[in-house]
Chains A and B, each alone.
Chain A
Amino acid sequence: TNVLNCPLSLLVSVVLVGLLCLVFCSQPTSLDAAPLCTNAEAGCHVLSLANLFDRVIQHSARMHSISNDLHSEFELYFLPSKNQIGRVSRNCHTSNILTPNGKENAQRMAREELTEVILKLLVAWRDPLWHFHQSMTHFHDFIDFSSNKSLKMSDMVHELRKGVQKVVEKMQMLGILSNSVSSLMSPEAFLAPGSAEWRLMKDYELLYCFRRDSNKVQNYLKILKCRIVPEDGC
């Protein structure tokens, strides 16, 4: 009987392998997984706008969460007292960027404007965060707490800006956004003339300001998404 079993088991195993192959080979087609294209004209599969928006929004949410944690830790470590008048001068270097301060204002603002605001904010924070991270290395105590967070934060800003730029490009391609948004311009163009003031900001103020601005970015992106691609999640 052993002799008989040999070819039978072989056959069974071959059939199983074939089935597995079918199962796994069929999966990619269902997921429509394909490499991302730099050129949309090539006709390859590109992620949908809603998908892009979701990714960017998630990214911004994460960024805001890190900035929140960093601010709380800093406050706890260096400034235990809270809610004191005149404690800090809320003078962020991005104050000159006009940002809508409410839902209605944000909804009333044109998409292009809103997109530009987002981009401006993200661009404005690239250098300050990098320098913040650099200055944090001098604080040995603080390094144990949050040095990796500050580094992550500066990276995230950079990545988020690139992501938003991609979204803008997509929108412009789809005709949703007019070409007035100068996404291809260098980041320095976005910087307001007085933006060098950030060097005068203290670290704590910097953290406070960034926490606010990251929240702005997150909310603006959400508003934009639900206005342009009002699918699930809105």
Chain B
Amino acid sequence: MACARMVKHLRLPLLLLLLALAAECNSMSPPEKPDKLGCRSPDKETFFCWWTPGSDGGLPTVHHLYYKTEGQENMRQCPDYHKAGSNSCFFSKTSIWVEYTVIVEASNALGNTSSDPLTFDLMNIVKPFAPENVTVVVNIEDSPHLTIQWHTPSNIDTKSGWVTLKNQLRVKPDKSKIWKNYASETQTHFTIYSIDLGVVYMVEVRCAIDNSWSEWSNTTFVKVPNFSRKDNSFWILVFSLCLIPLLAAMIILILKRKTVKKYILPPVPSPKIRGVDVQLLKSGQSEDVINAMLLNQRFPVMIPWKDQKEDYLIVSDKETSYLPLEKKKIFILPLAMALDSEVQSKETSEVDHFPKDSESSSEESSDKTESSQLLTKCSSANVLNDEKANQLKGVTEKIFQPFGIGGYVDIPRHEHMQEADYSRVNEVNGDNILIMKKENIPHTLDTRGQEGSVPDNYSMVKEVNSDNVVFLEKHSESVNASFKAKGYIDWVNQKPKNLHMAGHSEMGVCPQLVGCEYVDTVPPPAVI
């Protein structure tokens, strides 16, 4: 009896216990509350919410979404559970600037579980979808660039001004890690110029509504080719065509560089001597050179020195006067063959002295050489006889004038010139020797009418040989020949006193020596 009563009392708890045990064994439970509620509006006009359901507790679980706006009291259920996928709710008619409150409830046979409520304003959950149909075109014609185009996500109303979209794109080479961002405000296309050839690029685009950005679009890969073949081949052809004539021109220039050089830099004419070969001078022998120089030259024709009036200068020392005829040495003696022996024997020293002394003055020496030449001729023409030589010899001993080298003889000139009177002339020997009579010559007639003045012009007298031989001086051409004749004649008529003055002999002996050729013009006067 008591056992039955106990079983009755214990029936309910036992049943419950059994049930609990059964439940635990099957793991059935009310659903967990849904988690992770989220809502999003892609266009600022519609939105959808989603949730993550919890465990269903082993029983079929149903989820319900309830929402309520700011001014309402009751919760309303989701209008569309399917459009946005599972575990989502899609709202097509919405209000903005009002607060929504959304709750998701999971319910199964065992119970309901509600999620945490979510409150939001439409303006805060706006987030567009990523742009669609992103196309990238590579263009390397002019300069390599990428042209990127895309479409805005569908169902976005920008025409009414309700939605303003901003776009952004980013590009990177596939090997690089850094993206390069570009902003494109409301355009749905963009061009990038700074790309490299032969690189694979990745392109992504996204958009924004009111500063709320979408996700990045799917990556688009594009490869930029290495070069433009068409371009290159054209330029290679042009380049090679241009190169060939250039090379040809250069080769020609190099081969003909000498002619080119002559053309550009003409040679400068260098001084040349006619008839002289520079090369010969450089390379030839000395004889060749001399021959070349001499043979080719035309020297001016030298006329042998003939028939020229010779004049010479009698030079003597100042100290020794010529008046006294002394036995002195004469060195303007014909150095010719005739006198050589005597002169040499007696006056060798003098003869030798002569050339030495003549060196003191070139002028004197030239004169002396001239005179020596004269004398040579003279002697060769006239005085080659032995007789004359003897006479000369005698004369030389006695009468020869002393001659000094250093000075000049002052020739006394007499103004009056008397005609020549050859009365005293004994004999004329040759063309310049007069042999006079040995007697005092009286004053004779002067053929010229002059008063008996002795011709005292001894300028013609070169030498007096004894007392009747006079060497006439050769005059220069400027002197009148007739004057010479006169002087000669006058001299012949000279007075004895003059003669005395003149010298030591009684005869008209002239101190001066006489030149050779002078006497040619005068016929030998009659000898008295």
Measured between beta carbons, the chain A residues less than 8 angstroms from B96 are 101-103
A103 & B157 in contact (Cβ 8 Å cutoff): yes
A212 & B211 in contact (Cβ 8 Å cutoff): no
A103 & B162 in contact (Cβ 8 Å cutoff): yes
The reply on A136 being an interface residue by CB < 8 A is no
Instruction: Choose one: A101, A107, A227; the contact of B98 (CB below 8 Å).
Output: A101
Instruction: Choose one: B95, B97, B117, B186; the contact of A216 (CB below 8 Å).
Output: B97
**Given A90-B99, A101-B96: A226 in contact with B161 (beta carbons within 8 A):** yes
Interface-located stretch among A125-133, A143-151, A164-172, A217-225: A217-225
Give the residues from 159 to 197 in chain B that come closer than 8 angstroms, CB to CB, to chain A. Answer: 159-162, 164, 186
Give the residues from 179 to 219 in chain B that come closer than 8 angstroms, CB to CB, to chain A. Answer: 186, 210-211
Total A-B Cβ pairs within 8 A: 55
A179 to B524, CA, bound (A): 172
The reply on A193 being an interface residue by CB < 8 A is no
The reply on A4 being an interface residue by CB < 8 A is no
Measured between beta carbons, the chain B residues less than 8 angstroms from A21 are none
The reply on A233 being an interface residue by CB < 8 A is yes
The reply on A234 being an interface residue by CB < 8 A is yes
The reply on B397 being an interface residue by CB < 8 A is no
Majority SS at the chain A contact face = helix
The reply on A85 being an interface residue by CB < 8 A is yes
A56 to B45, CA, bound (A): 24
- Cβ of A99 to closest chain B Cβ, rounded Å: 7
Measured between beta carbons, the chain A residues less than 8 angstroms from B160 are 103, 107, 223, 226-227, 234
Interface range for A: 20 to 34
The reply on A183 being an interface residue by CB < 8 A is no
- Cβ of B74 to closest chain A Cβ, rounded Å: 16
The reply on A195 being an interface residue by CB < 8 A is no
The reply on B112 being an interface residue by CB < 8 A is no
B95 & A65 in contact (Cβ 8 Å cutoff): no
**Given A90-B70, A103-B45: A223 in contact with B97 (beta carbons within 8 A):** no
Chain B, Cβ-Cβ closest to A83:
B119
**Given A85-B117, A212-B123: A101 in contact with B161 (beta carbons within 8 A):** no
The reply on B118 being an interface residue by CB < 8 A is yes
The reply on A137 being an interface residue by CB < 8 A is no
A83 & B97 in contact (Cβ 8 Å cutoff): no
- Cβ of B317 to closest chain A Cβ, rounded Å: 81
- Cβ of A122 to closest chain B Cβ, rounded Å: 16
Chain A, Cβ-Cβ closest to B123:
A215
Give the residues from 67 to 99 in chain B that come closer than 8 angstroms, CB to CB, to chain A. Answer: 70, 94-99
- Give the most central of B99, B101, B159, B160: most A CB within 10 Å: B160
A227 to B164, CA, bound (A): 15
**Given A212-B121, A215-B123, A222-B164: A102 in contact with B95 (beta carbons within 8 A):** yes
Measured between beta carbons, the chain B residues less than 8 angstroms from A226 are 159-161
Contact with A along B110-139 (1 / 0, CB 8 A): 000000111111010000000000000000
Instruction: Choose one: B44, B99, B123, B159; the contact of A234 (CB below 8 Å).
Output: B159
The reply on B158 being an interface residue by CB < 8 A is yes
Chain B, Cβ-Cβ closest to A107:
B160
B157 & A215 in contact (Cβ 8 Å cutoff): no
Chain A, Cβ-Cβ closest to B69:
A101
A107 to B119, CA, bound (A): 27
Return the 7 tightest CB-CB contacts between A and B, nearest first: A226-B161, A222-B161, A101-B95, A103-B162, A234-B161, A215-B123, A212-B97
| Given A226-B159, A227-B160, 13 extra CB contacts under 8 A | A65-B211, A83-B116, A90-B70, A101-B96, A102-B94, A103-B157, A103-B160, A212-B121, A215-B210, A216-B97, A223-B161, A226-B160, A234-B158
Q: Which residues of B contact A (CB under 8 A)?
A: 44-45, 70, 94-99, 101, 116-121, 123, 157-162, 164, 186, 210-211
23 example contacts (A-B, Cβ-Cβ < 8 A) are as follows A83-B117, A85-B117, A85-B119, A99-B97, A101-B96, A101-B97, A101-B98, A102-B94, A102-B96, A103-B157, A107-B160, A212-B97, A212-B121, A215-B210, A222-B161, A222-B162, A222-B164, A223-B160, A223-B162, A226-B159, A226-B160, A227-B161, A233-B161
